[in-house]
Amino acid sequence: SQQGEEDPQALSIQEGENATMNCSYKTSINNLQWYRQNSGRGLVHLILIRSNEREKHSGRLRVTLDTSKKSSSLLITASRAADTASYFCATSVGGNKLVFGAGTILRVKS
Amino acid sequence: DAGVIQSPRHEVTEMGQEVTLRCKPISGHDYLFWYRQTMMRGLELLIYFNNNVPIDDSGMPEDRFSAKMPNASFSTLKIQPSEPRDSAVYFCASSPGGADTQYFGPGTRLTVL
């Protein structure tokens, strides 16, 4: 089974609204990363949060990490049509591998 | 930098044929990863290299799959013989530090008829 599981599987919002996606994982991690994938393209790294961090910001993105609950959330504020994409969390559990979740499909309607 | 380069972008082949996918990582990155993405199984790590040496190939589905990295700027993933169930998008990614930020190529969409 997946180490990281995103929730919801799909999300549809209006432009200007905030979008929140969640990721749960099973084992202890070194870091957790979020990636975006536009249709037909490769994944693009958004943000990395280490296991000893609780919150991180990057532009309109805010990531939180709760290691006690083994969960993370990605908040996109003031969403735009260009934010329409799939969003994946990936966990580093040791070694140099990342394990990716199944992703959340975000659709932002203009 | 041009980013990670993959070729071809699309490949259509018939069952039983050999398929070779190519990847040029970002210069200076010590780690190279091959992934496969399908609707059913999501994004799966097939194999990764560190300084051109294969470190973990536990994700390679079977002996039909092989990967090489003859030098720091080139890697191949070969499927021989190919089967329809190998149809997927194959991504190459490189990283300066292993499980830190990975930089993905645009992918190769493989269709095996």
Per-residue pLDDT reduced to its tens digit, B38-97:
999 999 999 999 999 999 999 998 899 999 999 999 999 999 999 999 999 999 999 998
Which comes out higher in pLDDT, residue A64 or A29?
A64
Region of B87 please: left (phi>0), alpha (psi -120 to 50) or beta.
Answer: beta
User: Sorting pLDDT into bands at 50, 70 and 90, what band is A1?
Assistant: very low
Which residues of B are less than 8 Å from A97 in CB distance? 45, 48, 56, 99
A1-15, A72-86, B96-110: which has the highest mean pLDDT? A72-86
**Which of A42, A48, A102 is facing B106, going by the closest CB pair?**
A42
3-state secondary structure of A23: strand
CA distance B14 to chain A (A): 23
Q: Residue B111 and residue B19: Cα distance in Å, rounded?
A: 10
Mean pLDDT of chain A: 93
Interface test with B, best of A2, A31, A43 (most B CBs within 10 A): A43
Cα angle: A5, vertex B85, B23; to 5 degrees: 75
Q: Does B91 touch chain A if contact means CB atoms closer than 8 Å?
A: yes
Which of 42-61 (B) contact A at CB < 8 A? 42-43, 45, 48, 50, 55-56
**Model confidence at A3, in pLDDT bands (50, 70, 90)?**
low
Residue B93 forms contact with A (CB below 8 Å):
yes
Where in chain A does DSSP place strands (E)?
Answer: 4-7, 10-14, 19-25, 31-37, 43-50, 55-58, 61-66, 71-76, 85-92, 98-100, 104-109
